[in-house]
Amino acid sequence: METGSDGATSQTTHRARRGGGWSAGLLLVVPTVVAACRAADTDGVTPVPQLLAFLPWLLVPAGAAALLALLARMRFLVGWAVTVLVLIGWFVRPYDTGLTEEPPGRAVARLTVLTSNVEFGRATDALVETVRREQPDLVFVQECDYACADALESDVPRTDYPYRNVVAGGTASGSAILSRHPLRPAPGVAGALAMPGSVADVAGRQVALQLAHPLPPVPDAVDDWRRELGLLREHAAEAKDGPSIVAGDFNAGQDHAAFRDILRAGRLSDSATVVGAARTPSWPADLRRPLGTQIDHVLVSEDFSVRKARFLDLPDTDHRSLLVELALHDVR
């Protein structure tokens, strides 16, 4: 009787371990695929682009898999889980802190730049109040509908922002650039949502400005998302020989290969990353670190140093705004 009891217990333990091993393996499939795409510098296919936006979250299933593998005493699964954890951990580490070295050359001007997605114009009133309070030199507005464009005209004095490039549109399609510095027209980037461009005269330097608002990587529009980010990459490459700012809602973050391609092509730096805030989420607005993701950015060329970056909470929008303080240096 004792032998039979021991055998039944052994079989139950074996089944439990085998079940734990299967569960660990299943939990590791998605983190492994996403981490492999991140390491291979590719965004892959749906659902990888969507999951890359939330890469730190994948530490949870990978960690659970590691625990189950340990309990199941399956060395292969333990090694697999640890490898995935180390790989994801490497990519989400706070590697960006302290990279605030100034470029060579004296500072010739200081600029504050605000980018804000006002979600179909709903946060326009809050944006106007923020502009009045913060007095940024350059303002990039996404999802500025017709009512938003009218409000910018009526509620933001021309004496404060005499130079503007506003592309009014319905719901999410409109965008605007407001400037205290003289602007002249420049070709924007073609997209389903307006992405205007301009050139600002700042202390005698011609600074290329480009608003970013590619389509989001929803499953049926990933190809369009990739194509529009590619067009932003081409703009960045063409503008890399002079001072350049690309700002807006990129619908992409540092874990997306298409976003990193923009940085490399234009020799651009992500302002939030430079001052140690690469993982500060900007969307959805009601989530905080470690939840949420950062898809709102101010990218700057090597002519700029970044003094400060702050994410601002505006009511009635699902994005947090980003306010960046820059110095323009005489490096060319």
If the chain, 332 residues long, is cut into consecutive pieces of 10 residues, what is the mean pLDDT of each piece?
Answer: 56 67 91 97 96 94 93 91 95 62 82 98 98 98 97 97 96 97 96 98 97 97 97 97 97 96 96 91 85 94 94 97 96 72
| β-pairing verdict for 197-202 and 183-186 | antiparallel
pLDDT for 7 = 58
β-strands 205-212, 244-249 pairing? parallel
**CA–CA separation, 11 and 158 (whole Å):** 80
What span, in angstroms and rounded, lies between the C-alpha atoms of 179 and 176? 10
Which pLDDT score, from 0 to 100, does residue 98 have?
Answer: 45
User: Taking a C-beta distance cutoff of 8 angstroms, is the pair 148, 191 a contact?
Assistant: no
Residue 37, SS3 per DSSP: helix
Please report the pLDDT score of residue 10 as a whole number: 63
**pLDDT score at 6:** 59
Among 214, 201, 255, 209, CA closest to 236 = 209
Residue-level pLDDT at 46: 95
pLDDT number for residue 21: 78
Residue 152's identity, in one-letter code, is: L
Q: What is the pLDDT of residue 332?
A: 66
